[in-house]
A and B are shown apart, each in its own frame.
Chain A
């Protein structure tokens, strides 16, 4: 959502020179099914990366390939420049926060967190272990909870224990498998902030797997959008939002109104789509999208925040290239902005978002009101429909 966009994620750090995770032509097949299909990418050191996609898209398998729970059928996996193929999970400099935390039920919080330290050879002294577990508990803001049992803790607390446990060995890469999925919305927001802060504090590369676009957009430096075992697009959140490669990405990152049809005309800068109703709509290509061929399936993506609303009696809004009449079906007040759902005979249901300061936001058209709407051609995107 736009709210996520307003709190811009930090740009990937240029100074973080090396590459912490590198996939080169990696495939993982289970029988005939390719869970990960010829995937290549690089995650820079110290960045916060997310894999985003629906279930079954291969994001979790990618994470497990990094962790070492799976070995690739083809290709190479490198961590901090070291080839990892054939290296078992227990020898990799990565640690994971599991989806349902996977805390050891037979151990208390202290022993759970200390688990990683106790596997080190030579084994740290008891005093050293005590000190570092204490620090870890401080880091995740659970001081004094060491003697509790895992199941006595709330979901958020378990989450923090899992984090502390995974961080205690100071891994090169921290892997997070849907770590916030089990938390309620409010707690999830808090934990998102905390995770970001934590990442900045410890300076470790984080790799997150999630199906929650808001989570990915709000926390990540880079995101890999996955579908059917492949990465559709790899980039920063703003890049994905502003320059999606296709409809799938545009749909997954933020919200859009899509007008699909055949490409009626195309040139080097943009394309015109003819919808099923015979309407012709033009827009420039997405900066990362590909050029469309005439006759192929295309789509015009119109983000809700670029659509303007006005009272049809007024003559203003000359800036809109496409203008339609419609009727407000729903109005949802969101505080900092207002969301309208408008029925337009030629287009169907259009989603419009007006910031608090805008004219439409102030006018607050009620449901049932006849209104006019429109957008500027160059702010929409012509994308491949796939």
Chain B
């Protein structure tokens, strides 16, 4: 009896500790995610106050007005996936090179080189691209070489370049990790079974790095969906993302309810994407998948 009581007590104590340890995270979650989200939902049903801001109302007008921002949605939904894809195409060989082909002696150094840009403000780095892509930058070089006059800055292409530049490390790292964890003997096993290097890559390396690829893609895609700075600076206000529409709605036209509705629709888009991600990763099942 005494023994049973003791173990019961300790179980209770453990539960209390668990609750205590979870409390900060729970409060954080509640105060900084749930409650603001609830505010956004309420706002999205309201209407713009005469001098801007929020006035209480109960209407779906803001949601019905979403098509007015169709261009922003379209730009985001086109450039975010393309940006993610180009990031992936650029990052995979780099991650592969770092994880597989680089001697451990130089690997750390090279990994640090991948991170080094993060030591400078993203804003300043993106700003620098305005000059690289501007008339006196690359286009001048191309013109000198003889490609004729090329316009880069303030085009979707320059936004894409900025996206790839900014988000490449986020894509490189998860892929690098999944490739580095990949058991090299699996490649020997594949070769042993008659698989050429290229086929081994397709049949073993690629599927086994899929979790890293999926994680990287989600990371980049989700952040791109909310991207604001790159279209602002490298798109010259002409390539407009949902993020830019939101900033405009809150800071310029100060139509908070409509902004909230746009924000909510962005959240819903993100949720759909994450669901798709979880569905995809479940296919690879169990232990070999790193969740986001």
Q: Which residues from chain A sit less than 8 Å from chain B, CB to CB? A: 67-69, 88-91, 94-96, 98, 100, 102-106, 115-116, 119-120, 149, 151, 165-166, 169
Contact = CB atoms under 8 A, between A and B. Distances in A.
B253 interface: no
A79 to B, nearest CB: 13
15 contacts: A67-B188, A69-B191, A69-B192, A90-B193, A102-B183, A103-B189, A106-B210, A115-B195, A115-B203, A116-B193, A116-B194, A120-B194, A149-B285, A151-B287, A169-B193
B180 interface: no
Contacts, number: 71
Contacts of A98: 185, 188-189
B190 interface: yes
A106 B207 CA distance: 7
Which range holds the interface residue count of chain B?
A: 20 to 34
A106 B208 contact: yes
Given A102-B183, A106-B207, A69 B193 contact: no
Contacts of A169: 193-194
A119 B194 CA distance: 6
B24 interface: no
A303 B188 CA distance: 42
B93 to A, nearest CB: 21
Nearest to B283: A106
A69 B188 contact: yes
B147 to A, nearest CB: 43
B188 A102 contact: yes
A100 B284 CA distance: 21
Nearest to B284: A106
A100 B184 CA distance: 12
Given A102-B185, A102-B186, A90 B192 contact: yes
Contacts of B288: 105-106
Contacts of B189: 96, 98, 102-104
Chief secondary structure at chain B's binding surface: helix
A68 B194 CA distance: 11
A149 B286 CA distance: 10
Interface string B42-57: 0000000000000000
Given A149-B285, A151-B286, A105 B194 contact: no
B290 interface: no
Interface in B181-224: 183, 185-186, 188-197, 199, 203-204, 207-208, 210
A171 B284 CA distance: 31
Contacts of B208: 104-106
A71 to B, nearest CB: 13
A90 B186 contact: no
A67 B192 contact: yes
Given A106-B208, A106-B288, A151-B286, A115 B191 contact: no
A94 B191 contact: no
B284 A96 contact: no
B193 A119 contact: yes
A162 to B, nearest CB: 9
A89 B193 CA distance: 8
Contacts of B193: 90, 95, 115-116, 119, 165-166, 169
Contacts of A165: 193
A98 B193 CA distance: 12
Interface in B207-252: 207-208, 210
Contacts of B203: 115
Contacts of A151: 286-287
Contacts of A69: 188, 191-192
Contacts of B183: 102
Interface string B274-289: 0000000000111110
B191 A90 contact: yes
B207 A90 contact: no
A64 to B, nearest CB: 8
Contacts of B207: 106
A104 B186 contact: yes
A136 B197 CA distance: 26
B204 A119 contact: no
Given A98-B185, A102-B183, A106-B284, A89 B192 contact: yes
A69 B193 CA distance: 12
B191 A89 contact: yes
